[in-house]
Structure 1
Amino acid sequence: MALFWFLHLYLSQFKWITALLQKHSEIRMRGIDLPDDLIVEVLSLLPVKSLLQLKCVNKSWNSLISDPKFVKLHLQLSTPNRNLALVQYDRPDCRVLTFPLNHLLHNPSTTIPTHQFICKDNIQFQVIGSCHGLICLLRKSYTSDHTNIHFRFWNPATRVISKELGSFQQSNYHAHDRHRYIFGYDNFTGSYKVVLMCSGKVKIFNIGDNIWTEISSFPRFDHDVSLGSDRVNNGVYLNGTVNWIAFQDDLSCSTYSWMQRDTTLEQYMIILLDLGTETYKQLQPPRGDGVNLVVPRFEPTIAVLMDCLCFSHYVKRTHFIIWKMTKFGFEQSWTQFLKISFQNLQVDNNFSDWNQYQTFMFPLCLSENGETLILASSLPGLCQVILYNLRRNRVERTKDLGRIWSFAKDYVESLASIR
């Protein structure tokens, strides 16, 4: 027990690697082995970078840290080290980079270090989502008559990236069909999955089996809600389910006609798909004080904030509202989490160009203490992150980095991998 607290003391002072190695060597020299349970408990608290270094101590530790059971335990017990995964299009390259969230919170004016660009490609990459520290990357390449699509799964913390998986082709005759993807984890089978929605059909790619299957009983909802902002509103993963916004099944609106008018919240629904049972549930969006609010030509978005499903939208070009589902899966539990005026957010609400409506502003995440809401904006001249302090009603901004933030996803560091 004394050794355990000794290590905890050094852990808090960021000197635990040296202390752990020295103490372990001293004990081994005396012919005494540390209990396996103690070693596992201590190692499971360490950050990924340190564990990768400790794998070199001996074969036993390397085997332990690489064991899938330890990987799962570490994900459950370690302190989350949250990051953002970003995409930057810089012709002819499309680059993916990662950035620690704490750096952004403590110094919003900081410059993104360009040397942290990790993946490069001369075609197109898109960050679909994150789960257990893995980033799902979609890659597209083009020929004269079709588009090649495949996925790679990258762990930025370990620098391990999978081979190309889930490949399929899309005919260019259907190039305008809306494809939406969500990445998640099936808790029942312990496998990662990608969900595809297109033309009213829903397909699931099981990464372990490397096959696509269609959910034949899935109703043909109108999933084409996102007007050009597929990088924002594909959907979210939460508690073994994927969730996305669709039009009500009797309101199949064309993109053009929907662009010409405002919509009301009752025209939308949220679809919850259980990745284990592959069954779905329809959820109604929140209603403000029993009134069916008009959404002025902005699409609503969903996000996960502090492990809660959230629904956000704009009202009368004056306010940004976020609702929180306090009991997941129960639409009666919607409560208004935030209502922020555009004035407090210091954003201009005078939109003259329809393109400015698309992906105007959307929530990325909340800080660990719940005091700072991190919003991404993709308005022309305002392509940056907005840090809104809930307690002090104060706004800080990052530098304008082009459309880089409109592709951002948050993730936690882990040892997980897909080969």
Structure 2
Amino acid sequence: MLSADLPEEIVEEISMRLPVKSLLRCKSVAKSWYAQITNPSFISRQFEWSDSITKNRRRQLIFRLHNASLKPCISLISDQEPIDIEVPFPEKDVEYIFVYGQCNGIFCLYGVYGGDKAGEASLILWNPGTRGEGREQPPVEVYNLSTGSWRTIDSVVPAFRLCYPKCRAYLNGFYHWLTEDNNDKAILFFDFGNEVFGKIQLPPEIDQSYESNVAVVDEKLACAATYKMTNCRYEIWVMNEYGVESSWSKKFVIGPNPEFGSFLGFWGDDEILVENEGHLVSYNIKNQKIQRLEILGVPKLFKVFDYVESLVPLKS
């Protein structure tokens, strides 16, 4: 792809280490480059590589309302300066964006419009790396990216009501949401491999009257409980053996601290992100250092998602 003098496997190893933005530019250089970059096998290997190097990096997409204009905005934070990303809805009068989840670098976004389109909404799939999106509003369950079509699956969905949309996590082919049924909170999961739903009970020691969240810690399913007293305190529980509810164990107790507000998730291995009165705040668990990041928004409306660069295409 890059040189006729290099073995094909070496060229591929070099290519998949390039940023997605560079690979997209390379698609227009030559037909052979286009064929290589759009090959499903290459896309899969590039994502595996990107995912492996991202695990120890701090890359998060922040969805929020801008504190001055009250318009939806998206920022990417990493070890470098925050970068603002253009909102993917082409209509400029979108007033709210709800994030239903992400998988393989692709986000499912639900936009609610105002102005002349007040009351209308759109559901889109969005890849921040390629900036492509696909629109569908189907009455079915599963969307297949390779065929660009929806299909119904034969799976029984347990009764549930989703808690606040930020409460979700993806781990090893399973997507998790925090749900509530008759005032009892539990974790609903979807197994992509077997296309079935199931439920996991929260640790019995967690007081369910307080705010909870689901996350991933050290490649394990985790539950974060926020106890709001004068100052917030967090308890982080980890499921040491996936699917075994008796394996829940308390890993961290953080705080109380006046800088804490809503728990948003982990940032790398040693830091958490929280929101406090419209400020995005990071807290280092090891050295207890607190840093207010240069990102502001409307209080209690921050949503944070892990972001991995991906070449996975969205079929038109």
Normalised TM-score (structure 2): 0.80
**Superposed counterparts of 1:89-238, under 5 Å:** 89=65, 94-103=71-80, 112=82, 116-119=85-88, 121-123=92-94, 124-141=96-113, 148-162=120-134, 164-167=135-138, 204-207=141-144, 208=147, 210-211=149-150, 213=152, 217-219=156-158, 221-224=159-162, 226=163, 230-233=164-167, 235-238=168-171
* Separation (CA, whole Å) in 2 of partners of 1:95 and 1:166: 21
Partner residue in 2 for 1:327? 241
What SS does the corresponding residue of 1:269 show, helix, strand or coil?
strand
Alpha-carbon deviations, 1:226-261, whole Å to 9, x = none?
3xxx3322x33222222223345xxx24xxxxxxxx
Partner residue in 2 for 1:403? 298
Alpha-carbon deviations, 1:353-385, whole Å to 9, x = none?
xxxxxxx41232231xx2222x231x4xx2222
Deviation at 1:328, TM superposition (A): 1.9
Q: Is the 8 A contact 1:387 1:396 kept in 2?
A: yes
* Aligned pair partner of 1:364 in 243, 261, 265: 265
* Separation (CA, whole Å) in 2 of partners of 1:328 and 1:216: 21
What SS does the corresponding residue of 1:294 show, helix, strand or coil?
coil
Q: Is the 8 A contact 2:77 2:83 kept in 1?
A: no
Q: Is the 8 A contact 1:149 1:167 kept in 2?
A: no
What SS does the corresponding residue of 2:178 show, helix, strand or coil?
strand
* Aligned pair partner of 1:83 in 46, 51, 59: 59
* Aligned pair partner of 1:313 in 202, 206, 225: 225
Partner residue in 2 for 1:244? 177
Normalised TM-score (structure 1): 0.62
Deviation at 1:286, TM superposition (A): 1.7
* Separation (CA, whole Å) in 1 of partners of 2:263 and 2:124: 26
**Equivalent residue letter for 1:417:** P
Confirm or deny that 1:275 pairs with 2:185: no
What SS does the corresponding residue of 2:221 show, helix, strand or coil?
strand
- Kindly tell me the number of residue pairs found equivalent between the two proteins: 301
Q: Is the 8 A contact 2:270 2:284 kept in 1?
A: yes
* Aligned pair partner of 1:341 in 255, 277, 286: 255
Q: Which runs of 5+ in 2 are unaligned?
A: none
Q: Which has the higher strand share?
A: 2
**Equivalent residue letter for 1:372:** E
Q: Which runs of 5+ in 1 are unaligned?
A: 1-19, 104-109, 169-202, 254-266, 348-359
**Superposed counterparts of 1:348-387, under 5 Å:** 360-367=261-268, 370-373=269-272, 375-377=273-275, 379=276, 382-387=277-282
Deviation at 1:331, TM superposition (A): 1.6
Partner residue in 1 for 2:21? 49
**Alpha carbons of 1:403 and 1:306: their partners in 2 closer, same or farther (altered >3 Å)?**
farther
Q: Is the 8 A contact 1:86 1:127 kept in 2?
A: no
Task: Report percent identity of matched pairs.
Answer: 24
Q: Is the 8 A contact 1:82 1:413 kept in 2?
A: no
* Separation (CA, whole Å) in 2 of partners of 1:392 and 1:326: 25
Q: Is the 8 A contact 1:157 1:414 kept in 2?
A: yes
Confirm or deny that 1:391 pairs with 2:286: yes
**Equivalent residue letter for 2:305:** K
**Of the two structures, which has the highest relative contact order with CA contacts closer than 8 Å and spacing of 6 or more?**
2
Q: Which has the higher helix share?
A: 1
* Separation (CA, whole Å) in 1 of partners of 2:199 and 2:63: 32
What SS does the corresponding residue of 1:46 show, helix, strand or coil?
coil
Q: Is the 8 A contact 1:298 1:314 kept in 2?
A: yes
**Equivalent residue letter for 2:243:** G
Confirm or deny that 1:302 pairs with 2:240: no
Q: Is the 8 A contact 1:137 1:153 kept in 2?
A: yes
Q: Is the 8 A contact 1:95 1:119 kept in 2?
A: no
